[in-house]
Amino acid sequence: MMNERFMNSLCGKINDRRPLWIMRQAGRYLPEYRALRAEHSFEELCASPELSAQVTMMPMDRFPLDAAIVFADLMSPVSALGIDCYFDPGPVIDDPIRSAAQIRALTVPDGPEIAPEVPATLKLVKQQLAGRANLIGFAGAPFSIAAYLVQGRGGKDFVYLRALLREDPLAFGELMEKLAQLSARYLIEQHRAGADVVQVFDSWSGLLSLSEWEEHMRSHLTGLLEELRKAGVPSIFFANGAPHLAEAHASLPSDGLALCWRSDLGALRAKLGPHEGAGKALQGNLDPACLLAGPEATRRGTRKLLDSVPARGHIVNLGHGITPDVPIESVQAMIETVHAEEHSD
């Protein structure tokens, strides 16, 4: 049976119920993932399309989710720029990009040369899904990839990237432009390989003020999303930790906007107007901490979310990735609550 609920909601069509998937649904909260990780490093999993496809399918085989997201990482495409990146457990770059000369030296390769294992994984997953759920490809937004490239590892405030912006805005802009190109080419290849839609993850966009974002980021994100539109690739833009940018993000040329739990999706829907074909799908945004709090708290949180956001054009998800220590019962409670909703609009 074909399941197009996710794409229907993205396009603002009426559905029998709201679609649901979970950011980071293929990860460490699953015992079968932890078992596979006991045998293989994260890099080994990512390098093998067979293993990546197996991990992508893990949550799909366990739960009736409406979309699968390809197993890869935000940093998967950067080796195509000639940058070495490894995981401990998050991304680490021993020789971070901190100078204009390093930025100038980066060249963006053609699409087929960018992380070819990811399109190869998508082809395998597409076959294995056989239409029972939609398939999502993804890449990082320029600012969020740069956060790791410039800092050298994960963090909370990415002060080296913000320092680069103040010290040399031209070099910062060149880095954003190259990373936007990289993501656009990579995402078009993922769509060709079978992704129905692609999600652009801007995990660190909230670190800029609205005026800095308007001055330094809007044009790069618009360029990236316009390129996807021109190539016929449906897109969702995800912004974490950036409620002050929500309306600016809503005006970007993406088909859907996903926000973290700090934003009020119902209030945003009221401002944007209904999604009836022309318009924007909204995705999210249950606090992942509800799942950690257990199945009862998850049911309450999910019901509240469903009550506060009109069903049409709403894709249910968490506001950020599922954390490794959540009980599986909480995931089941979230799914059951979404499935139990009486269809109202």
Q: Which is nearer to ligand 1CP, 12 or 152 (CB)?
A: 152
User: Does 109 engage in binding with ligand 1CP (CB under 6 A)?
Assistant: no
- Residue 328: CB minimum distance to ligand 1CP, A: 15
Contact criterion met (CB below 8 Å) for 136 and 196:
yes
Q: Which is nearer to ligand 1CP, 89 or 277 (CB)?
A: 89
Task: Please give the residues from 129 up to 148 whose contact with ligand 1CP meets the rule CB under 6 A.
Answer: 138
User: Does 152 engage in binding with ligand 1CP (CB under 6 A)?
Assistant: no
User: Does 194 engage in binding with ligand 1CP (CB under 6 A)?
Assistant: no
Would you state the structure tokens that stand for residue 310, as one six-digit string?
A: 């009109």
Site string for ligand 1CP, 9-48 (x = CB under 6 A): ---------------xxxxx--------x----x------
Give the whole-angstrom CA distance, residue 93 versus residue 87: 9
Contact criterion met (CB below 8 Å) for 56 and 71:
yes
User: Does 201 engage in binding with ligand 1CP (CB under 6 A)?
Assistant: yes
Q: What are the catalytic residues?
A: 24, 28, 37, 73, 148
- Residue 88: CB minimum distance to ligand 1CP, A: 9
Would you state the structure tokens that stand for residue 252, as one six-digit string?
A: 């970007």
User: Does 90 engage in binding with ligand 1CP (CB under 6 A)?
Assistant: yes
Amino acid at 214: E
Give the whole-angstrom CA distance, residue 45 versus residue 53: 9
Which range binds ligand 1CP by CB under 6 A, 88-96, 114-122, 265-273, 290-298? 88-96
- Residue 342: CB minimum distance to ligand 1CP, A: 30
DSSP letter for each residue of 100-121 = HHHHHT--PPPGGGS-THHHHH
User: Does 88 engage in binding with ligand 1CP (CB under 6 A)?
Assistant: no
Q: Which is nearer to ligand 1CP, 27 or 295 (CB)?
A: 27
Task: Please give the residues from 214 up to 243 whose contact with ligand 1CP meets the rule CB under 6 A.
Answer: 240
Give the whole-angstrom CA distance, residue 123 versus residue 197: 14
- Which residue of 6, 29, 63, 71 would you call a contact of ligand 1CP, by CB under 6 A? 71
Give the whole-angstrom CA distance, residue 316 versus residue 314: 6
- Residue 333: CB minimum distance to ligand 1CP, A: 19
Amino acid at 121: T
Closest of 244, 62, 231 to residue 137, by C-alpha: 231
- Which residue of 65, 74, 83, 200 would you call a contact of ligand 1CP, by CB under 6 A? 74
Contact criterion met (CB below 8 Å) for 167 and 160:
no
Other C-beta atoms within 10 Å of 293: how many? 16
* Displacement of CA 115 from its chain's centroid (Å): 17
User: Does 186 engage in binding with ligand 1CP (CB under 6 A)?
Assistant: no
Give the whole-angstrom CA distance, residue 95 versus residue 98: 9
User: Does 203 engage in binding with ligand 1CP (CB under 6 A)?
Assistant: yes
Give the whole-angstrom CA distance, residue 279 versus residue 109: 34
- Which residue of 154, 243, 253, 279 would you call a contact of ligand 1CP, by CB under 6 A? 154
Contact criterion met (CB below 8 Å) for 258 and 283:
yes
Q: Report DSSP state, residue 217.
A: T
- Which residue of 321, 323, 328, 336 would you call a contact of ligand 1CP, by CB under 6 A? 321
- Contacts with ligand 1CP by CB under 6 A lie at 24-28, 37, 42, 69, 71-74, 87, 89-91, 138, 154, 201, 203, 240, 321
